[in-house]
Amino acid sequence: MIEMNKKMVVRAIAVLLLTTCSRVYPQLSSMSASKLEGQTQVDWPVYGGQAAGDHYSTLSQINRKNVHDLQVAWKFDGQEEGGLETSPIIVGRVLYAYTATQKVIALDAASGKLIWKFDSGIRGTQPVRGVSYWTDGKESRIFAGVMNYLYALDAKTGKPVPSFGEGGRVDLRKGLGGDYQTRSIALTTPGIIYKDLIIVGGRNPETHPAPPGDIRAFDVRTGNLRWKFHTIPHPGEFGYDTWPKDAWQTAGAANNWAGMALDSKRGIVYVPTGSPVFDFYGADRIGDDLFADTLLALDAETGRRIWHFQGVHHDIWDRDFPSPPALVSVRRNGKQVDAVAQTTKQGFLFLFDRSTGKPLFPIEERKYPASEVPGEVTSPTQPVPTLPEPFTRQRLTEEILTTRTPQAHDWAVKEFKTFRSGGQFIPTGLDKETVVFPCFLGGAEWGGPAVDPLRGVIFINANEAACVIALTENKPGGSIGERTYQNQCSVCHGDNRTGSPPTFPSLVNIGKRQSQLQIETTILQGKGRMPSFPNLAGEHLHSLTNFLTDVAISDPDHDALYSSASDGAPMKYRITGSRDFLDPDGYPAVAPPWGTLSAIDLNTGKYLWKIPFGEYPKLVAKGMTNTGSENYGGPILTAGGLLFIGATVYDNKFRAIDSNTGHLLWETVLPFAAVATPATYMIDGKQYVVIASGGGKDPKSPSGSVYVAFTLP
């Protein structure tokens, strides 16, 4: 009895010390699980669990044997519509997260009771995926993005810290060149904390004009800028010659919207970037365009480039790196090597030595056809890893078209014969639609992977639907509103405004559904996947709204106005709109699986298992199961051998999967789809798993703002 009490005391002290350390020194949360072996990670203090981005917890109270007993511990309903993509963080006994309209909340993590709520007065219209936590042991702060502002909040009260920035916030539009009030940027993914710095990127528009995607580090106490890395190099900087002369003054994006990972021991922050504008046509940026579509390894203290890898040269396919990389250790030649793993939209997985950037699986520069579009100069080669095999199919052929019904198959075959389909990196053609497979919203998505740091295994959920795009020539004529629509809106909503529901809604007859004020507000502030367009003002904004609502106006000076920067840099070509390749009933026109979940051994590059992930309830009712479905938000992994994941858009399910086999062990139906990454933590000796349930991806289904936590009886 005495011996047992001693063990309990030792265990309690260990938990207390680890909890204190994670609060006072949050950078310790990036330690690998092998170093934490025998200890218990009770908090979830960083987006993704640890700064390493591995989505891993050493907790094992909930495990393969008892997960079927999980029950709801508490719910918190923010009583808002709009959807959630947030992964909460948990520090001590407090959970920090967002509501659907970007109010920041602190909840008692054991009961779900509201401790405080911060309302900035700004109605958030962009996705937000989490907050950041910092402490020096004396004071603690929550850093939260609300649209273009980075707020520093007192962790105890939720009130802005007046000494930070301007009255508690930094306006991220400032310092990016030009008139900051016309700049569009939103902090959708939380910044990474390193010592007394918060390092951030931002979401930028994907059409001209867009600000550059500078990576910036701010002082956590004052909000002062400490360093900046130009992802579009300035004169004299490395990579400047991969762009046209002085492109840094007019080019935009190449931004980090997906988040970052940190190796605090080495002081390296790993920053994946997106494509430059315009996404699908690059005659104004001939060259490889460093550091777009690049995994950057930067000195976290200074912003100095240590190494880089560009995943797509001269991107005209919108192949952004879609998620933070994950840090993991793997075996090479009998030794452990610290590595960084990066997933991609095209279904590739890249693995590098964390210190040097040396590929741990061979990467080949393969040749691809040149563009036939006048003025466009594509890269003659693109990098392709030889291992692992891609986690999505790479080329759409007639043999893998849908067979869901004979009618759907016949329709798909007829449509497919009108497309160009050549696999990855086939340049988009003029007028005739080109297949992009997997589409821009897959394979891997922003939720990111989970890794088992003890075994070197990575778990990736992916989308596997196709879409099509085509380029067409911009010709003189038309109103200001029509020109503005073609250059800013048609990329998503199409030339004819029909969109590609559910991803891009139709704008046909929008004037009958919304007032002119509502339409203009959405244009200026953005909504969901749509970024804000503050550059559209005055006559451009009114003319665009008139065009959308079919109000006839006279624009005698349209050519002069069209040439102004307000409506975007005129281009020789534009896309007629991207559309999902869906059958007449709204299901993917390719054969299943439409969503997958894979386990890959990073030591060998071999697959351990792969399963269809997600389902359509209406198809299940007809006996069609295991189709997989569209999914957003990533998995987490626990030492209990469980992979917890929501993510599926249409079935509203939250699942626990055996990480060794891929077998489903437990599932429950949530109030709304959980398009978010869960979190797990322990309080008073009890393990919890929590996930945001908000929907928002399927316009045919309601959305909300609910957090649901589960625990054992």
The CATH number that applies at residue 486 is: 1.10.760.10
Mean of the per-residue pLDDT values for the chain?
89
pLDDT at position 551 is: 63
**Does residue 345 share a domain with residue 239?**
yes
**Does residue 484 share a domain with residue 460?**
no
Rounded to whole angstroms, the Cα distance separating 498 from 539 reads 24
For residue 109, how many C-alpha atoms fall within 13 Å in the half-sphere facing its CB?
Answer: 27
**Does residue 76 share a domain with residue 205?**
yes
Average confidence (pLDDT) over 602-620: 98
φ, ψ of residue 621 to 5 degrees: the values are -65, -25
**Does residue 519 share a domain with residue 616?**
no
- The answer to whether 384 and 366 are in contact (CB under 8 A) is yes
In a domain, 459, yes or no: yes
Structural domain of residue 134, as residue ranges? 67-394+437-465+592-711
Could you give the percent of the chain with pLDDT greater than 90?
76
What 3-state DSSP class applies to 24? helix
φ, ψ of residue 531 to 5 degrees: the values are -75, 170
Q: Alpha carbon of 474 to those of 279, 485, 506, 570, 575: distances in Å?
A: 16, 12, 22, 8, 9
In a domain, 342, yes or no: yes
Strand spans (E) along 104-181: 104-108, 114-118, 132-135, 140-146, 149-154, 169-171
pLDDT-derived band at 428, boundaries 50, 70, 90: very high
Rounded to whole angstroms, the Cα distance separating 228 from 215 reads 6
- The answer to whether 186 and 147 are in contact (CB under 8 A) is yes
In a domain, 269, yes or no: yes
Give per-residue pLDDT as tens, 113-157: 999 999 999 988 889 999 999 999 999 999 999 999 999 999 999
Number of neighbouring beta carbons within 10 Å of residue 584 = 12
For residue 480, how many C-alpha atoms fall within 13 Å in the half-sphere facing its CB?
Answer: 25
Asked which of 505, 538, 570 is the last residue of a domain, the reply is 570
Checking if the pLDDT of 251 tops 50, the result is yes
How many structural domains compose the chain? 3
- The answer to whether 129 and 85 are in contact (CB under 8 A) is yes
Checking if the pLDDT of 520 tops 80, the result is no
Checking if the pLDDT of 552 tops 80, the result is no
Pairing, β 636-638 against β 56-57 = parallel
Rounded to whole angstroms, the Cα distance separating 338 from 354 reads 6
In a domain, 417, yes or no: no
Could you give the percent of the chain with pLDDT greater than 70?
85
pLDDT at position 564 is: 34
**Does residue 255 share a domain with residue 386?**
yes
In a domain, 281, yes or no: yes
Give per-residue pLDDT as tens, 190-216: 999 999 999 999 999 988 889 999 999
Average confidence (pLDDT) over 369-380: 96
**Does residue 141 share a domain with residue 88?**
yes
**Does residue 340 share a domain with residue 295?**
yes
pLDDT at position 37 is: 43
Checking if the pLDDT of 710 tops 80, the result is yes
| Nearest alpha-carbon partner for 401 in 391, 413, 393, 414 | 413
pLDDT at position 24 is: 38
**Does residue 450 share a domain with residue 555?**
no
Give per-residue pLDDT as tens, 557-574: 433 333 333 344 457 888
In a domain, 99, yes or no: yes
**Does residue 74 share a domain with residue 40?**
no
pLDDT at position 614 is: 98
State pTM to two decimals: 0.87
What 3-state DSSP class applies to 215? strand
**Does residue 360 share a domain with residue 487?**
no
In a domain, 643, yes or no: yes
pLDDT-derived band at 36, boundaries 50, 70, 90: very low
- The answer to whether 310 and 294 are in contact (CB under 8 A) is yes
In a domain, 401, yes or no: no
Sequential DSSP letters for 305-323: EEEEEESSSS--S-----S
Checking if the pLDDT of 547 tops 60, the result is yes
Q: Which residues contact 79 (CB under 8 A, 6 or more apart)?
A: 705
**Does residue 96 share a domain with residue 23?**
no
Give per-residue pLDDT as tens, 659-700: 999 999 999 999 999 999 999 999 999 999 999 999 999 988
Average confidence (pLDDT) over 163-175: 98
Looking up residue 308, the CATH number of its domain turns out to be: 2.140.10.10
**Does residue 443 share a domain with residue 557?**
no
